[in-house]
Structure 1
Amino acid sequence: MVFRGSVQCSASRAEQDDPNVQAAARRLRERAKREKRRQLAVARRDVDDCHHEALEQLADQLVARLLARPQAALSLAEECHDEELAETLLSLYDLDS
């Protein structure tokens, strides 16, 4: 018996030297690597989705707060030289700049 880590393998020397057994073992290792990469890709996408959702929520909160304070929103638009936003805010809220 051959011990690898905590896994006990019972393979005779002839089985270990058999090209078919070696090829099967190589395919299993390759499959395990592909599965690990797939799982990592899924985990990355999940994290990216969570970050994207959090950023969207933050943007929504910021917009809601600015729209609740139109004069502050207008000041910010003017500070950023966003004339289109400033004009939109002026027309929506009838603000004096």
Structure 2
Amino acid sequence: MKVARLLILLAVLVAGLVIGALNSQDMTLNLGFTAIHSSTGLAITVALLTGAIIGAGLVLVGVVIPLYSRLRKAQKAAPAAAPVASSSSPFDGR
């Protein structure tokens, strides 16, 4: 599994380098109150990273946190597990 993660990481890194290299034109992003000068490749990479972070945050808030809350409530509502008493069986394993 660690090898697969490493290969995915390397593939994403290479894709980012290729995007940055192929889109080296200068651009100006005007935000109204300020202007940001950057290359097109950097702007695309930052936009993709920002979208991934916002998407992960929405999944965390919309799915993961409510599931953890339901799990905690279910664990509090469940009775404490009683220890299982060992029964003596006439079967001795032969």
Q: Place the TM-score, normalised by the shorter chain, in its bin.
A: 0.3 to 0.5
- Structure with the bigger RCO (C-alpha within 8 Å, sep 6+) is 2
- Greater gyration radius: 1
TM-score (norm 1): 0.41
TM-score (norm 2): 0.42
More strand, by proportion: 2
